[in-house]
């Protein structure tokens, strides 16, 4: 079974992406940062051990010329982050799948490989973030994805990781490296 790595991305337009960062450094600068961060991330995580797929928001941005032409894309669709991530986790063919964000500068292919390796002995894997959220979720997918996955998760709070783990009862959970995402100008340092 093939491994799939899905990167959740937003079309990098000023005022639509990294708006909290944009309040600190300006919306155009935040969009510029995101676009270059994404380009560098995709270079770092390209690896023959997994298929790389972009989950794009808004759905109208699927055909944007900003995305590398060789990468397959899927629409994120409607709903909150939980609905969109659940859809992404269910999208690929059978096999382990990991979903990451695009705003974490320290993600590398070895970190992704570590997450997929953890799925060899666990049902789910998380890459915690310093703020209480997470930069990666992965599922082994040998059993059905719980229908209430992400139900009640308090997104963008220090409870997001704990809330998500609570939606996976009786799953063996692994954790990989804790990384920092970039939400504000202070996170750029």
Q: What are the pLDDT digits (tens) for 62-81? A: 999 999 999 999 999 999 99
Domain that holds residue 76: 4-188
Residue 94 pLDDT greater than 90, yes or no: no
What integer pLDDT is reported at residue 143 of this predicted model? 77
pTM over 0.85: yes
Q: DSSP 3-state assignment of 81?
A: helix
Task: State how far Cα 72 lies from the chain centre.
Answer: 16
Other Cβ atoms less than 10 A from the Cβ of 176: the count is 22
Span 98-149, pLDDT tens digits: 999 999 999 999 999 999 999 999 999 999 999 999 999 999 988 788 889 9
Which residue(s) pair with 46 in the sheet?
none
Q: Is the peptide bond between 58 and the residue preceding it cis, with omega within 30 degrees of 0?
A: yes
What integer pLDDT is reported at residue 50 of this predicted model? 98
Q: Based on DSSP, count helices (H) and strands (E) in the chain, helices before strands.
A: 5, 7
pLDDT band for position 154 (cuts 50, 70, 90): very high
Residue 1 pLDDT greater than 90, yes or no: no
Please count the structural domains in the chain: 1
Q: What is the CATH number of the domain that holds 53?
A: 3.90.550.10
What integer pLDDT is reported at residue 46 of this predicted model? 98
What integer pLDDT is reported at residue 18 of this predicted model? 95
């Amino acid at each position: 079974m093939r491994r799939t790595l899905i990167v959740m991305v937003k079309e990098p337009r000023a005022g639509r992406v990294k708006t909290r960062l944009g309040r600190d450094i300006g919306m155009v600068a935040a969009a510029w940062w995101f676009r270059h961060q994404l380009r560098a991330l995709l270079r770092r995580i390209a690896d023959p051990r997994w298929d790389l797929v972009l989950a794009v928001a808004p759905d109208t941005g699927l055909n944007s010329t900003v995305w590398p032409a060789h990468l397959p894309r899927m629409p994120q669709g409607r709903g909150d982050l939980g609905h969109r991530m659940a859809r992404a986790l269910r999208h690929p063919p059978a096999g382990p799948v990991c979903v990451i964000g695009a705003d974490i500068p320290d993600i590398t292919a070895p970190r992704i490989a570590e997450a997929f390796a953890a799925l060899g002995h666990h049902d789910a894997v998380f890459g915690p973030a310093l703020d209480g959220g997470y930069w990666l979720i992965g599922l082994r997918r040998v059993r059905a994805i719980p229908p209430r996955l992400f139900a009640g998760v308090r997104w963008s709070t220090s409870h997001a990781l704990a809330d998500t783990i609570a939606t996976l009862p009786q799953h063996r959970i692994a954790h990989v490296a804790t990384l920092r995402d970039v939400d504000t100008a202070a996170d750029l340092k």
